[in-house]
Amino acid sequence: METHPRLYAKGVRKRQEILDKSLDVIAQRGFGETVLRDIADAVNLSQAGVLHYFPSSEDLYLQIVDARERRRMETALRQVGDSGVIRIVDGAPAIGPEDPDSAIYTLISIFLRNIHHAQQTPGLIELFVRMQALASSPSNPAYEYFRRRTDIIHASFEPFVAEVNRRGLLMRDWDPGKAISIIVAMADGLELQWVRDHGIDITGTLTLFFDLTLSGFEEWRRGEEIITPIPDDGTPSGNDSAATTAKK
């Protein structure tokens, strides 16, 4: 029997509502044993009602991770576009001819800024780490999701690393693919450590890495307010609107 378009559209809207509310619930309450019940309460459904829109709870959690990643990417691209020194070409950052060094430093500062903001929502980081652990099994849907994520990151940012190399800003020439792999491994690995110990300074550690490898970055960032906590919609929240400069 063919599904009526209106019923299908209603289901799509409800599914999106569940994902949106799930991000809010986990950000505010964390990712605990009652998370599915908390999500169900937020959308006025039973737990079975929530899972009517997803094949399983595991699929729901993977879709929440994807929704979070999409929000983060949209926010980062909006900041890139608003910077005035970086262009977006085919969904990826491109360095223009005007003050290219500043554009490179600005893009890295946006990356650090969004990493800093992610630490304000421990539950979403914990969910991300848990789903990433499941990706070790090729039979798990998370395996394909994180494989695609890696491919997208490399396709988007390898040209950027190549441009940094071309301008001689790195302490030594890096293979773009290996450079991106190192940065992703550091960011994801630090989040894993942070789940176990919130004393881990993810942003500070990554900032130190760029200070040590990227010529001129440390001097540039000391004159810039590069770490401004922001919510996923891209607007400063509460007292976090005051910028704080990253420190080594």
The alpha-helical segments, DSSP class H, found in the chain are: 5-29, 35-42, 47-51, 57-83, 100-118, 122-134, 141-166, 176-196, 202-213, 217-222
Question: Would you state the pLDDT for residue 142?
Answer: 94
State the pTM of this model.
0.79
State the pLDDT confidence band at 240, using cuts at 50, 70 and 90.
very low
pLDDT digits (tens, 9 = 90+) for 173-220: 788 999 999 999 999 999 999 999 999 999 999 999 999 988 888 888
Residues 6+ apart with CB under 8 A from 113: 79, 226, 227, 228, 229, 230
Question: Would you state the pLDDT for residue 226?
Answer: 55
What are the sequence ranges of the domains in the chain?
1-54, 59-241
DSSP 8-state secondary structure symbol assigned to residue 46: -
Grouping H, G, I as helix, E, B as strand and the rest as coil, residue 43 is: coil
Q: How far apart are CA 233 and CA 124, in angstroms?
A: 16
Looking at the predicted structure, is the pLDDT value of residue 237 above 50?
A: no
Place of tokens 């005035």: 84
Backbone angles phi, psi at 98, to 5 degrees: -85, 115
Summarize the confidence of residues 137-141 as an average pLDDT.
91
Question: Would you state the pLDDT for residue 92?
Answer: 67
Name the burial class of residue 57, with classes exposed (0-12), middle (13-18) and buried (19+) by CB atoms within 10 angstroms of its CB: middle
Selected residue with higher pLDDT from 239 and 145:
145
Q: Which fold has domain 59-241?
A: Tetracycline Repressor; domain 2 (1.10.357)
pLDDT digits (tens, 9 = 90+) for 69-89: 999 888 888 887 787 777 777
Q: How far apart are CA 164 and CA 176, in angstroms?
A: 9
Question: Would you state the pLDDT for residue 80?
Answer: 79
Question: Would you state the pLDDT for residue 32?
Answer: 87
Its CATH class, for the domain covering 1-54, is mainly alpha
